[in-house]
């Protein structure tokens, strides 16, 4: 019978810093230098600041914030104390106890946390904070193909229903423009937030996305995400112009730029865009029944558990384009996502729908 000390989920951590530091035979493993977990995290983030896109750096910062919180809870003040069992206890805690909105991290999210932890520990080896080779004890997390595919998306029919409602009852409002551009282009919220008034060209019916990290509007793939997006849908240009002329809060950001989407404080925050999607995708927002808390009003429907997140809108738009037989390379360019990622994460078509699309494309090529 194994003792409680053998339980990998037991979060008690020994206080002997030499307990696991002399097992690899590397001379550096016996010459560790004390450093607090929080300081090591800051060193790591500073080291990676020019290697990672700003969105990725934020993900690393958020992940490692959980790590420092855990070390505080279990009493690790010196990172030299970290060993394989401690890391396993942390990763178990991160997956099962730390999440606040779900009972357990989804497989893809858990993989992200493990990968970041592994990178961090590997860096810590180079600054003599943990023993050499410790990162190798963090085994790669394999995600099943079924878990790779995100089957959650907002159907284009529902997206259109919400958009039409806003166009009818809240024309040229900020929420109307957010939903118009999401439905039109499948933008990520970072791209939508980055737009300036000057990026809109009504004469040529386009929006230009630019990578401007120096003024805090990065894009997912840095300069690789810069592109000119055509506004195809009838009414989009007119709604945008009406919003700019009549509804947009006149404001500049702290860099002197004129954001397209504004609040009284300047450029909209990402959370403002998310709340717009959460609020209007709640069934109650359009007058339908919803089983959320009876005390919830339409103004705080963004808290509803039956709503959609921006990523689900993006997935719905991409799937709609594929179902309409738009070539995957065109969808890739328009929505700034590689064909392989589209196939794995965004393609919500059924197996038979994909087969029919392939057959039709082959038949058309053979006919030519």
Per-residue pLDDT tens for 29-71?
568 999 999 999 999 999 999 888 787 888 899 999 999 999 9
22 with 118, same domain: the answer is yes
> Is 229 a member of any domain?
yes
204 with 128, same domain: the answer is no
16 with 54, same domain: the answer is yes
117 with 168, same domain: the answer is no
Q: Which residues of 219-254 are buried (b: 16+ CB within 10 A; e: fewer)?
A: bbeeeebebebebeeeebbebbebbbeebbeeeebe
139 with 167, same domain: the answer is no
174 with 233, same domain: the answer is yes
239 with 107, same domain: the answer is no
Q: Is the pTM of this model over 0.75?
A: no
Q: What is the count of structural domains for the chain?
A: 2
160 with 308, same domain: the answer is yes
pLDDT tier for residue 99 given thresholds of 50, 70 and 90: low
160-183 pLDDT, tens digit per residue, is 999 999 999 999 999 999 999 999
Out of 147, 175, 202, pick the residue that ends a domain: 147
pLDDT of residue 360: 81
Out of 298, 314, 330, pick the residue that ends a domain: 314
175-227 pLDDT, tens digit per residue, is 999 999 999 999 999 999 999 999 999 999 999 999 998 998 989 888 999 99
139 with 173, same domain: the answer is no
pLDDT of residue 163: 96
pLDDT tier for residue 103 given thresholds of 50, 70 and 90: low
Examine the pLDDT at 291 and tell me if it is beyond 70.
no
pLDDT tier for residue 1 given thresholds of 50, 70 and 90: very low
308 with 172, same domain: the answer is yes
Query: Mean pLDDT of all residues in the chain?
Result: 84
pLDDT tier for residue 295 given thresholds of 50, 70 and 90: low
Out of 314, 331, 355, pick the residue that ends a domain: 314
Span of 6-20, 148-162, 184-198 with lowest mean pLDDT: 6-20
**Which residues form the domain of 278?**
156-314
> Is 357 a member of any domain?
no
257 with 167, same domain: the answer is yes
138 with 163, same domain: the answer is no
């Amino acid at each position: 019978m194994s003792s409680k000390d053998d339980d990998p989920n037991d979060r008690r951590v020994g206080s002997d810093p030499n307990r696991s530091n002399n097992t690899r035979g590397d001379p550096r493993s016996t010459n560790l230098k004390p450093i607090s977990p929080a300081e090591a995290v800051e060193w790591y983030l500073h080291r990676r600041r020019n290697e990672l896109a700003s969105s990725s750096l934020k993900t690393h910062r958020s992940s490692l914030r959980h790590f420092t919180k855990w070390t505080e809870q279990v009493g690790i003040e010196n990172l030299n104390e970290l060993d394989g069992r401690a890391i396993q206890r942390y990763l178990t805690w991160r997956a099962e106890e730390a999440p606040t909105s779900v009972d357990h991290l989804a497989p893809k999210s858990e993989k992200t946390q493990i990968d970041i932890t592994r990178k961090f520990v590997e860096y810590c080896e180079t600054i003599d904070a943990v023993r050499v080779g410790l990162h190798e004890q963090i085994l790669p997390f394999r995600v099943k193909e079924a878990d790779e595919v995100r089957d959650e998306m907002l159907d284009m029919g529902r997206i259109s229903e919400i958009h039409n409602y806003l166009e009818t009852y809240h024309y040229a409002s900020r929420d109307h423009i957010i939903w118009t551009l999401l439905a039109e282009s499948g933008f990520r919220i970072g791209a939508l937030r980055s737009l300036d008034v000057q990026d809109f060209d009504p004469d040529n019916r386009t929006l230009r996305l630019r990578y401007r990290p120096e003024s805090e509007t990065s894009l997912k793939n840095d300069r690789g995400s810069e592109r000119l997006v055509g506004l195809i849908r009838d009414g989009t240009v007119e709604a945008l112009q009406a919003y700019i002329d009549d509804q947009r809060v006149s404001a500049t950001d702290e860099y002197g730029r004129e954001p397209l989407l504004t609040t009284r404080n300047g450029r909209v925050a990402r959370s403002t865009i998310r709340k717009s999607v959460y609020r209007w995708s709640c069934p109650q927002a359009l007058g339908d029944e919803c089983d959320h808390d009876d005390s919830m009003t339409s103004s705080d429907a963004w808290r509803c558990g039956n709503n959609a997140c921006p990523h689900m809108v993006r997935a719905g738009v991409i799937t709609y384009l594929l179902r309409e037989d738009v070539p995957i390379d065109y969808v890739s360019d328009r929505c700034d996502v590689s064909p392989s990622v589209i196939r794995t994460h965004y393609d919500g078509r059924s197996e038979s729908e994909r087969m029919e699309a392939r057959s039709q494309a082959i038949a058309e090529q053979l006919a030519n």
